[in-house]
């Protein structure tokens, strides 16, 4: 479920990035897309690892990428590339995913001896 929500966030990020100016293609647009794609990729990679510690480390990286994506969106807002109403759905999805990642991490840590 966390991975699926992260995939949904990637789609929303790509949709939102289309609204940014073309001169940001190699700047903010690329950074937003890379950060977004990193989230489900790290969740999947961690899940595929044999050790719980590896999974937790990858979930931490995914959370870092989530924070990075939020920062890029806030930069786009400050630069007036986006209006608050445009960014709100992505930021809401991001907040939900952050809570889900925290919950998954907490549950996995409970299993640690």
Q: How far apart are CA 108 and CA 95, in angstroms?
A: 20
Is residue 106 predicted with pLDDT exceeding 80? yes
Is residue 43 predicted with pLDDT exceeding 90? yes
Topology (CATH) of 2-110 = de novo design (two linked rop proteins) (1.20.1440)
Nearest Cα neighbor of 86 from 71, 74, 69 is 74
Average pLDDT in the chain: 95
In the chain, the percentage of residues whose pLDDT exceeds 70 is 98
Stretch 26-40: mean pLDDT, rounded?
A: 95
């Amino acid at each position: 479920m966390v991975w699926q929500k992260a995939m949904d966030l990637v789609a929303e990020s790509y949709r939102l990035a289309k609204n940014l100016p073309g001169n940001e293609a190699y700047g903010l647009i690329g950074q937003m897309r890379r950060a977004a794609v990193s989230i489900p990729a790290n969740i999947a990679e961690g899940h595929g690892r044999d050790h719980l510690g590896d999974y937790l480390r990858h979930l931490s990286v995914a959370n870092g990428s989530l924070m990075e994506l939020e920062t890029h969106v806030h930069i786009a807002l400050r630069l007036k590339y986006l209006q608050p109403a445009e960014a709100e759905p992505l930021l809401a999805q991001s907040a939900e995913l952050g809570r889900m990642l925290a919950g998954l991490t907490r549950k996995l840590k409970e299993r640690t001896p």
